[in-house]
Amino acid sequence: MKWNLAVFSLAIMTLPAFSADDVVRLPFGKTKDGQQVERFTLNNPNGMKVQVITFGATLQGIEVPDSKGQFADVVVGFDTLEGFLGEHPYFGGVIGRVCNRIGNAKFSLDGKEFPLAANNGINTLHGGKKGFDRQVWAAKSFTHRTSRGVIFSRTSPDGEEGFPGNLKVNVTYTLDNDNGLRIDYNAVTDKATPVNLTNHAYFNLAGKGSILGHMLSLNAKSYTPTGDTLIPTGKLAPVQGTPLDFRKPTAVGARIKQIEAKPVGYDHNYALEESCKGLKAPAAVLSDSSSGRVMQVFTTEPGIQFYSGNFLDGMVKGKKGAAYNQYDGLCLETQHFPDSINQPSFPSTVLKPGQTFTSTTLYRFSAEK
């Protein structure tokens, strides 16, 4: 997270009736209360395609080529709005006002305690009962010479899900000509409030099947250990000598059975190395040998949550009617550490009036032959 005192302005955005061929906007259905949802498709000259919808500012799809030039969608999700309106594990949504968990569903700020919804046992998860991923956002597309994208915007009102302050948020998706998808987060508030935004996309570089054979490297030598309800202890621990060590490319499934969790799998926050700052080095690299696809993840955030899709159980039917089984997708959620608002030793997530929250994550795709 980077605090920037530059002036932040949030324009009232009107949707264009039509945009250039590299940004195509179409209706995508209506919510149960009648709100119109739209889908934007971003196309670059290489044939890469990114689809985002105004419900949840959700990343619906990413189509990229393999080593033979064959395209596949590498994001788990749904073909229609109905799937996103139903119960699902946050497929592709923007998560806020605070992603991940807040312990005991409460926090104190400036001498006042703020109770929150306990929607994950005794804790708050991913913004509460109706987080940012369940809201309809305003949107405006743009095109530049070497990129195109969509700016999503909304104001989270004072008291929404228990959080203080009117929080004005912009989330910008930009697809460039080098097969990079960049997400920029921007927010201001009129009261001090915690802010920790991320995207909850599930990736599968093969386009289907298990991700246990994917190779993963994480630029982190430590992680934040947690208690039984996945709330951090406030300390850092080394990954060396544990099944959490992904400093060298390792198959996701190589040591997954050594994880003591029910269901078995990874759901851990890694503290990224200083070399990742400024988007200079990737925080994570994911690859799939069957397709040759590679995804590099760069971020300005201090942490990344690696989740191996442990709770996928085949009950959710997704794209083309596919049943998503355990380990059919994985998440690499760039973030501040979980429960930072209650952990004084962690980097702060508090945004104050007069400050601007900014955060950037970049996914760069390629294929190895």
CATH number at residue 47: 2.70.98.10
Q: Phi then psi for 276, rounded to 5 degrees?
A: -80, -20
| Cis check: omega of the bond before 97, within 30 degrees of 0 | yes
Across the chain, mean pLDDT equals 94
Query: Which H or E run contains 12?
Result: none
Domain encompassing residue 267: 2-367
**Percent share of the chain, pLDDT over 90:** 93
Helix (H) or strand (E) segment spanning residue 264: none
pLDDT over threshold 80, residue 18: no
Give pLDDT tens digits for 257-266: 999 999 999 9
How far is residue 313's CA from residue 61's CA, in Å, rounded to a whole number? 21
Is 92:130 a contact under the CB 8 Å cutoff? no
Active site residues: 200, 333
Under the banding of pLDDT at 50, 70 and 90, the label for residue 13 is very low
Q: For the chain, state the CA radius of gyration.
A: 19
**Side chain identity at residue 144, one-letter code:** H
- Hey, CA dihedral for 270, 125, 317, 200, is it positive or negative? negative
Q: How would you class 263 by CB atoms within 10 Å of its CB: exposed for 0-12, middle for 13-18, buried for 19 or more?
A: middle
- The helix or strand, by DSSP H or E, that contains position 286, with its residue range, turns out to be strand 284-287
DSSP letters, 215-243, are: EEEES-SEE--B-TTS-B-S--EE-TTST
| Spatial distance between the Cα atoms of 288 and 291, rounded to a whole number of angstroms | 6
> pLDDT band for position 40 (50/70/90)?
very high
Res 15 pLDDT > 80: no
3-state secondary structure of 132: helix
**End-to-end Cα distance, the chain:** 36
Give the residue-averaged pLDDT of 18-33: 85
DSSP labels for 63-80? EEE-TTS-EEE-B---SS
| 8 A C-beta contact, residue 282 and residue 270 | no
Residue with tokens 């851990």: 268
Measure the CA–CA gap between 271 and 283, rounded to whole angstroms. Answer: 10
Please check the confidence at residue 19 and state whether its pLDDT lies above 70.
no
How high is the pLDDT of residue 21?
A: 76
Q: Name the band, by pLDDT with cuts 50, 70 and 90, for residue 369.
A: confident
How far apart, in Å, are the Cα atoms of 75 and each of 50, 58, 299, 327, 331? 10, 11, 19, 13, 10
Please, which pLDDT band fits residue 7 given cuts at 50, 70 and 90?
A: very low
> What total number of domains does the chain contain?
1
Give the pairing type, strands 147-156 and 167-176: antiparallel
Q: What's 57's DSSP letter?
A: T
